[in-house]
Structure 1
Amino acid sequence: MDATERIQAASQFLLQSPPGEINDVLNDIRNIISDDDLLQEGIQPALREYNIEQFTVVDVPETNYQSIISEVARIGPVSEDSEEESQERFLDPRSKLSFVFDHLSLEASDPQPIQPNEEHEHVRSALEASALNYLKAHFTDGVTAVFSPKGESTHYVIQVVANKYNPTNFWSGRWRSEYTVDLTTAQVKGKVLINVHYYEQGNVQLATTHTVSFELPPAIPSLPSNTAASKILALIEEEERKYQISLNETYQEMGEKTFKGLRRALPLTRQKLDWDKVLGYKLGAELSGTNKNNFSSS
């Protein structure tokens, strides 16, 4: 396998990194590539894709909070004429700042003020305030960002991301949700993405995608911005509540029915297998002294 093929393989590993574990994956593949300069240059596109897709959070310069790196936050270069400012930039609508984001160090730099669309800013800021209240109620360590429309559109995009990393207990998880609110058609469309990784003496990953679509009551678009925003977030909250209930019911059923159906309650010997001692068995010696007619793996 040549260097190009190794970089391509490394990029695929990075894109599949569980929440909070991309640095661990990166450190592992460094030993495979054995060329830091080549690795850093080759994996930049994969890191960029990962950070945008996973709603990576970043400390916003000159503020005391974080914002979200995502496709809707991407605004491109501020100026095509200046080589210094030709780098890709991202927007934090809350502070009305754009910044350059380093996809390797996960740091923001060069903050620049951005003039918002004044026609839509009052609605955007009202949705932001309601989203922040929703965050405090349900996502203690979460981050949210609300983006206003471009041009004459009346679309507003609400994004939420919450990360939980617990390496001591061998698990990590990430919640991402994104909703597009269209006040012209009075519709909300969105999705919820959940990734969980549990890796104590094994490797189990959960990845779910749930789509959301509902109509707003006819009166909402004509309500004052703060009232309308509060009602919209209440509807989103209800949709997410129902989804979480359905997830709980699904996993309870899997534990009680699905997993039990994958194996017999007892092997043919009619004796329970002590799973805690499986790794300690000397299989060669055990199997050689076992009557094959009475042995069956479960």
Structure 2
Amino acid sequence: MSRTAALSSFVESAPPGELADVTKAIQSIVGDSAVDSELSPAYQKYNEDQFSTTKLPGGASEALISPYNSLEDNRYYDVESSSSFTYDHTTGKASDVRSYVLESTHEDTIKSLVKSLGTHASEHYPKSSTGVFPIEDDSQIAILTVANKYSPSNYWNGRWRSQYIYNPTSGKISGVIKVDVHYYEDGNVRLITNKDVSTSVNASASAAEVVRQIANAEKKYQEDLNKAFASLSEGAFKQLRRQLPITRQKIEWEKVSGYRLGQDIGGGGRAR
């Protein structure tokens, strides 16, 4: 494996919210701050795959970076603000904002989806961004959501991504939900999980109905995740921990040398 390929693999596997830290580590290891230009393709792949977001100059909301709204020469467009912009994949900043007119036979549907999806995301995710874009020669529509929650002071970061391909003609909706959570206090634990989604609506369904089907799929997956975590907590994780004494009191380890095993820990009388 070449140096570029090896370093690119580090970039592309960076946990949510930690790309800057990975970049600093790479620069420190190779001793070359100019390595960013070498890794530019890796940064672009990471930002598009992870649905990175950027605030446009003078704008209030954040725009998505994805393969579905890519134009050319690192330019992307945003339906909600009717603008296009240049994105620097190394610094994560947008510039050169211009007016952009969406050309699609599904323009009304797309704009309705933007509104309904934005309402859904704001109600269910603390910090999220959405995007709706025509794809496949305007025959289908990509519906994207990304929600990030970072808490580096508590040593964890997480990201929710969902992407769906909607066919307005057939009413079919197919996609995938991706969850990536990293916890790194006194250790290094990472959860990466995907869930394929396949559902449908009537060909004449409204944008609100399309988003309702998406919301149902995401709610079910969140419930499944909660059940899985509860099962782990009561099952496998519990078996990894030392059980409490019969008295159900925690052992004070600093006083362990003074315990009388049979009476103090077991709770019974002293052996004679």
Shared fold (TM-score greater than 0.5)? yes
Quote the offset at 1:43 in angstroms: 1.1
Q: Kindly provide the CA deviation profile for residues 90-125 of structure 1, in whole angstroms up to 9, marking residues without a partner as x.
A: 111112212111001111111222221253211100
Partner Cα distance (1:55, 1:150) in 2: 19
Task: Could you tell me which runs of 5 or more consecutive residues in structure 2 were left unpaired when the two chains were aligned.
Answer: 245-250, 255-272
Q: State yes or no: 1:36 paired with 2:33.
A: yes
Deviations 1:30-76 (A, max 9, x none): 11111212x12211111111111110001123421111101101122
Q: Count the aligned residue pairs.
A: 250
Aligned match of 1:90: 76
The corresponding residue for 1:296 is none
Distance change >3 Å, CA 92–CA 262, structure 1 → 2? same
Secondary structure at the counterpart of residue 148 of structure 1: strand
Question: How has the CA–CA distance of structure 1 residues 204 and 184 changed in structure 2, closer, same or farther, with 3 Å as cutoff?
Answer: same
Partner secondary structure for residue 169 of structure 2: coil
1:258 counterpart residue number: 236
Q: Is the 8 A contact 1:162 1:176 kept in 2?
A: yes
Residues 152 and 49 from structure 1, CA distance in 2 versus in 1: closer, same or farther, beyond 3 angstroms?
A: closer
Report sequence identity in percent: 35
Q: Is the 8 A contact 2:74 2:88 kept in 1?
A: no
1:1-298, aligned counterparts within 5 Å?
5-37=2-34, 39-76=35-72, 87-149=73-135, 151-153=137-139, 155-216=140-201, 218=202, 221-223=203-205, 228-261=206-239
Of 24-33 and 106-115, the range deviating more from structure 2: 106-115
d(CA) in 2 for partners of 1:215, 1:275: 58
- 1: CA distance between counterparts of 2:56 and 2:107? 20
Whole-Å separation in 1 of the counterparts to 2:85 and 2:20: 23
In 2, Cα distance between equivalents of 1:73 and 1:7: 27
Q: Give the deviation of 1:252 after TM superposition.
A: 0.9
Contact 2:83 2:100 in 1 (8 A): yes
- Provide closer, same or farther for how the CA distance between residues 118 and 28 of structure 1 changes in structure 2, counting only shifts above 3 A: closer
C-alpha distance 177-259 of structure 1, shift in aligned 2 (>3 A):
same
Bigger drift between 89-98 and 167-176 goes to: 89-98
Alpha-carbon distance, 1:152 to partner: 5.0
Would the alpha carbon gap of residues 53 and 152 (structure 1) be closer, same or farther in structure 2, given more than 3 Å must change? closer
Q: Distance in 2 between matches of 1:165 and 1:114?
A: 32
Q: Deviation at 1:193?
A: 0.5
Matched to 2:18, the amino acid is E
**Alignment gaps of 5+ in structure 1:** 77-86, 267-273, 278-298
1:198-230 CA-partner distances (Å, limit 9, x unpaired)? 0110000000011100121x3xx325xxxx111
The residue type equivalent to 2:211 in the other structure is: L
Please report the TM-score for the alignment, with normalisation by the length of structure 1. 0.78
Root mean square deviation of aligned Cα = 2.3
* 1:103-155 deviations in Å (ceiling 9; x for gaps): 011111112222212532111000000011101211121001111346451x1
Residue 275 of structure 1 deviates from its aligned partner by 11
Alignment partners' CA distance in 2, 1:256 and 1:234:
33
Structure 2 Cα separation of the partners of residues 261 and 235 of structure 1: 39
